[in-house]
Chain A
Amino acid sequence: MATVYVTLPPSNNGHPRTDTIDIEVGGEKLKAVAIDIGDARLNLIEAAARGGIEIPYFCWHPALTVVASCRMLLNHPLDCPVCDKAGECMLQDHSYHHGRATSRMIEEKFSPPNKPHIGSNVTLFTDRCIMCTRCVRFTREVSGQAELQVTHRGHHTEIDIFPGEPLNNKLASNVVDLCPVGALCSKDFLYKQRVWYLKTQKSVCADCSTGCSINVDGNKNVVYRLHPRDNPLAQGHFMCDDGRLGYHYVNSPERFNRPRIRRGAELAPAPWAEVVRGLRQELADAVKRDASAVLGVLSPFLTCEEAYLIAKYLKGLSGQVRLALGPVPVVGEDDTYPKDRRGHPIQPVKFTIRAEKCPNRRGVEEVLRHFQGDVIGFDEAVRSAQAGQLQALYLAAGYPPRPGGWVSEQQAASLKKVPLLVVQDLLPSPVSGHAKYLLPAGAWAEKDGTFVNHAGLAQAIHWAVTPTGETRSDGQVFLDLLERRGLAHAPTLRKELAQEVPFFAALASGEIGDHGIALTAT
């Protein structure tokens, strides 16, 4: 057991504390706060933070080595009005809480030119740099390829790359979050919004099965950026650029924004009430004729609650209705970091970008297992359609647009044979043109629910923007099909799911918390 004593000035920056004790160091009488840190091995910043005392710092970061860059800052320009970091800047915050109104710098400030060539997603405003070297340590210790370095000496110190070797690794944009000032900025977000306009929601990245905890920043129903949220149970402190920059389809004007029903050759817009009534009727009729010829495809982009609701609806029509797992996009192999200079992965692994490019295969699979014992693949669904064995097919897709698409022209030609083809998706695909019912799907940034990552960690996602046009979240459509009243309230549905499906029993309270709940002992 250890106790750390942190001395405080009497006023403690305007926050006087009552729990101080009197200590004497070298004959000097001081006020101190005693902080019990148990057996934890902490540095002073961490220990003081446990006692609610803030020690201002810039260079230290929990995921990076300690460097102790002192005597920084003096050269920082006062260009906050045009700096993207303003509003979430450590230097602004420290200056506001602890700083003085005037600068002691009397020399001419050093303003080296900007370096927009530093990386394809990152730009460097060189004069704003305070030389904390967080970015340099990140590229050496976490991404590993050490693209960034400190050049020159003294007053002329700069961050730079080796000529012709830009910062283009897949973790590059993390240096933007790490930068305590606005020196490194995201090209994607540059000048798009002032940060104080953004509304932040806690969510989970939907781009691979790592399931990075993230914050989604949106304003006026537009998603402007994603950035990682610390979660020791999921990914740690960082996220990859594929996930970070892969959200743009959420704002796409190409998205389906109203339900449509086929009338002859065209898919005509129709009100939801008519669509839901017609769909319920036609599915019930199809089940009456031959329940085994009705199949539901659940994509791994659905939340657990949505998968549960659609499974419950279709299995509620008849136990013989089959359920299949939608295509699981897999690209290459798991990509681990750090890497060496040649790009070969090295141990110990600090970050993994997984090959499975969907957020919730495990969750959807567990729902399918509960409702029908085994998991049917998408290929089997396509084979059944090709063989003419299907009368009705419900494709709860919701796939983001990725190279190659989720369904091929060939598969679409097979699925086309199904008389009652229901497609619920975000964007046009080879199969959407053949649908009898075309329903707009909600993107992950528009949903509340649960994703289960590769390791069985259940994490909550929350909506940051509302669906476009007449789009209803998938869960809401499934509730309508079930003729259940009310809104798709995630905690309520989660409780129901936990009661019914044993795999999710740990979610019985309905609340998950910020870090998620591990559902399997892995």
Chain B
Amino acid sequence: MLKPSVTQQFPEERPQKDKTFFSLLPANYRGVHRLNRDEQGRTKCVACYMCSTACPAHCIDIVAAPSPWPDREKYPETFVIDELRCIYCGMCEQACPVDAIELTTLFDLTGFSREEMMFDKEKLLSVFDETVKMGTDPVRTRTGRLSVASELPPEGGVTTSSTAQM
């Protein structure tokens, strides 16, 4: 009787990440994907296919092309994730060498058709805009530049992006 209520009145009340100790949404919740933008608003993705190679559900389809920008070689001409096929394991996020793909806390994913659930590059970038604006999913990652692996590890060892965020 004296314990605080753990029942949440969904959908009037919506779970928020780390709002309370009894939040229904853990901090490492894996929801809808987003494609991160760099400082200039371009997609960070370099179309290396690491995510689609790592993906156990084979739900990521990329078509690569020479990049229109001078500071990188390659970019995704199209980038499509089948959100219905995805198992939300987060392997794509782990595989990404430039921190371009992240799973957000958006969990209420619905649509009227299968086609609608094929998220293309524009849609995935708009998820980034939306989640960053809402402040639910701050950008967790570092430079987003290729070749970071060739730099010396920072003093005091490597900090992973998820621990840094929590």
Contacts and interface: CB of A to CB of B under 8 A. Distances in A.
B55 interface: no
Contacts of A280: none
Contact of A82 (B53, B72, B152): B72
Contacts of B49: 194, 197
Interface stretch (A73-81, A433-441, A448-456): A73-81
Contacts of B9: none
Contacts of A81: 46, 48, 50, 97-98, 146
A190 B66 CA distance: 8
Contact of A194 (B53, B72, B149): B53
B48 A82 contact: yes
Query: Which secondary structure dominates where chain B touches chain A?
Result: loop
A79 B152 contact: no
Interface string B43-61: 0001111100100000000
Given A191-B47, A194-B49, A196-B53, A82 B150 contact: no
Query: Which secondary structure dominates where chain A touches chain B?
Result: loop
A150 B64 CA distance: 31
A18 interface: no
A77 B150 contact: yes
A77 B146 CA distance: 10
A78 B66 contact: no
A11 interface: no
A82 B47 contact: yes
Contacts of B97: 81
B155 to A, nearest CB: 15
Contacts of B146: 78-79, 81-82
B73 A82 contact: yes
A78 B65 contact: no
Which of A79, A81, A114, A196: most chain B CB closer than 10 A?
A81
Contacts of B50: 81
B66 A79 contact: no
Contacts of A192: 64
B147 A78 contact: yes
A275 B73 CA distance: 51
B149 A78 contact: yes
Interface in A85-144: 102-103, 114, 125
A79 B46 CA distance: 10
B123 interface: no
Interface string A156-190: 00000000000000000000000000000000001
Contacts, number: 38
B100 to A, nearest CB: 11
A77 B152 CA distance: 14
Nearest to B150: A78
A103 B65 contact: no
B135 to A, nearest CB: 30
Interface string A64-84: 000000000000011101100
B149 A82 contact: no
A82 B66 contact: no
A159 B20 CA distance: 61
A191 B46 contact: no
A125 B150 CA distance: 18
B73 A79 contact: yes
A82 B65 contact: no
B74 interface: yes
Nearest to A102: B152
Which of A78, A103, A125, A191: most chain B CB closer than 10 A?
A191
B47 A77 contact: no
Contacts of B147: 77-79
A125 B53 contact: no
Contacts of B64: 191-192
Given A81-B50, A81-B97, A82-B146, A125 B73 contact: yes
Contacts of A191: 47, 64-66, 74
Contacts of A103: 150
B166 to A, nearest CB: 27
Contacts of B53: 194, 196
B130 to A, nearest CB: 27
B2 to A, nearest CB: 55
Contacts of A77: 147, 150
A82 B149 CA distance: 14
A121 B152 CA distance: 37
Contacts of A194: 48-49, 53
Nearest to B46: A82
Contacts of B149: 78
A76 to B, nearest CB: 9
A78 B147 CA distance: 5
Contacts of B66: 190-191
Contacts of A125: 73
Which of A78, A79, A102, A190: most chain B CB closer than 10 A?
A79
Interface in B71-100: 72-74, 97-98
Contacts of A82: 46-48, 72-74, 146
A192 B64 CA distance: 7
A261 to B, nearest CB: 37
Q: What 3 pairs across the A-B complex have the smallest Cβ distances? A: A81-B48, A78-B150, A191-B64
19 contacts: A77-B147, A77-B150, A78-B146, A79-B147, A81-B97, A81-B98, A82-B46, A82-B47, A82-B48, A82-B72, A82-B73, A102-B152, A103-B150, A125-B73, A190-B66, A191-B65, A192-B64, A194-B49, A196-B53
Interface of A: 77-79, 81-82, 102-103, 114, 125, 190-192, 194, 196-197
Interface of B: 46-50, 53, 64-66, 72-74, 97-98, 146-147, 149-150, 152
Given A78-B147, A82-B48, A125-B73, 11 more contacts: A77-B150, A78-B150, A79-B146, A81-B46, A82-B46, A82-B47, A82-B72, A190-B66, A191-B64, A194-B48, A197-B49
